[in-house]
Structure 1
């Protein structure tokens, strides 16, 4: 297993040529299946989906400013994907370790970082056993890109959050985002296609939705299509899990805005503190 003090991840296994969901895709509701979803063909197109420049313009300095306000210096990016936020934070002066469960994503992230003049410190890790593969304590952990919704079982979600909590310094913060599944489940899917998936001529829409599965289809200009199966987390459920694991002072933003009641946001961003202020000595 690669450690975070090395520069690259050994690409020790070949990804399948096709995504693996079994005979009935809507029955595939297992956390570990993400390894069968992020195949090389999909990963190679991921940057078309998010469009680094458009996404940077859309989110502005929200994450950079949030981290600076909390005095953050070192960051563990546990869902680095193709490296977008790791690179942005490096360029803003943070010390960053980049982790992901997908070796394909880490290879792409390393390539993207090198093209921009950075050597990413990468490590392949499953969040449920994060402390086994990543070492040290961090001022902040970020889990972005709707990634936490790959956790299908509550025990997996609790285990992952507990691993995050354990790796944070006593006054550290967790920044975690998610789609607005409340709106999708209650009112149907709509999107401003502005903040997260900004690529031109790329469609990202749900193909199936129920209380236990959001199956999204991603269509690209070359007529290729890929899918992701995710758990539709409701906002208040996610906030409750964070509190029960031990996080305090949880702020939730909608599309990078503190006040979002006038219009349903596409995404929620939770900023949760590991704080002991309320505990008397």
Structure 2
């Protein structure tokens, strides 16, 4: 890594973006962004109860619709979705590239009566760390946008594809970066994803190659940042098709019908199963 702190990210408590934070556009830098103190505040940001109320049973319903039983939670974070899926009866492998997140996720699940099967893995080589094929992979929380290099994005999607069963699905979400890049929105509404009280999550810098978000907690005034790549919706669809996914259906804030500028988040459901010739006329929605 050419910039940022050189300390072991496992023991970092403060973020370090160097003298020019908007020049930090490296996939691996996320490990130096999810420092201990930020991870400890992450649940204040998402608010488990608020998040559960806002998304309802959306992901569980989609997984059941496709007959899924085994799921990789590829960006488990502090464990919210892994716990929700375990509670609903799914078999879950909880994966994250941040050891701090995995530790917090394991503790959160244990407090709620569940034991997570946690795996520390880089998506680009996930098949080295997980054995077998799964019915579904979920990659949520805008996590895919931590990848800045196009080759790495293709490699990650190819890894996901290879680890799915022949009729498996990938559920991947992202911010509505189209609206941000085109000046159609000022930032997230806190209605669906980041539901915590007393927390501000707003874009501080946006250009075609970087979306830098500022997270401020009002109780102690602490401030953290994340640097992410602003993925356009059509680009993500195209990448998914290029690595082999057949049909991609996109929801806006959990709704199938929406105006393009309105949603905070897009949720893509990509199907691996082969389409017959008459089904192949329109494979993207």
Q: Provide the TM-score with structure 1 as the length reference.
A: 0.93
Aligned to 1:232: 230
Q: Over the residues paired in the alignment, what is the CA RMSD in angstroms?
A: 1.5
1-structure distance, mates of 2:199, 2:82: 23
- Count of residues in correspondence between the two structures: 269
Q: Is the 8 A contact 2:187 2:203 kept in 1?
A: no
Cα deviation digits, residues 90-123 of structure 1 (max 9, x gap): 0001000000000000000000000000000000
Find the aligned partners of 1:178 and 1:134 in 2 and give their Cα distance: 24
Does structure 1 residue 203 correspond to structure 2 residue 204? no
Shift of 1:20: 2.6
In structure 2, the residue matched to 1:269 is 267
Whose RCO is larger (CA < 8 A, sep 6+)?
1
Of residues 30, 34, 50 in structure 1, which corresponds to 2:30? 34
Change (3 A) 1:90 1:101: same
Change (3 A) 1:190 1:38: closer
In structure 1, C-alpha distance between the alignment counterparts of 2:266 and 2:224, rounded to whole Å: 24
Q: Partner of 1:6 in structure 2?
A: none
Q: Which of the numbers 120, 123, 127 marks the counterpart of 1:127? A: 123
Instruction: Name stretches of at least 5 consecutive residues in structure 1 with no aligned partner.
Output: 1-11
Q: Is the 8 A contact 1:90 1:96 kept in 2?
A: yes
Pair 97,54 (structure 1): closer, same or farther in 2 beyond 3 Å = same
C-alpha contact (below 8 Å) 1:21/1:28 kept by paired residues: yes
For residues 242-273 of structure 1, the C-alpha deviation after alignment (integer angstroms, 9 at most, x for no partner) is 00010011100000000002861000000000
Corresponding position of 1:192: 189
Give the one of 45, 63, 66 matched to 1:67: 63
Contact 2:179 2:261 in 1 (8 A): no
Structure 1 pair 157–45 and aligned structure 2 pair: CA distance change class (3 A): same
CA distance in 2, matches of 1:85, 1:14: 23
Q: Any unmatched runs of 5+ in structure 2?
A: 1-7, 279-285
8 A Cα contact 2:178 2:233, kept in partner? yes
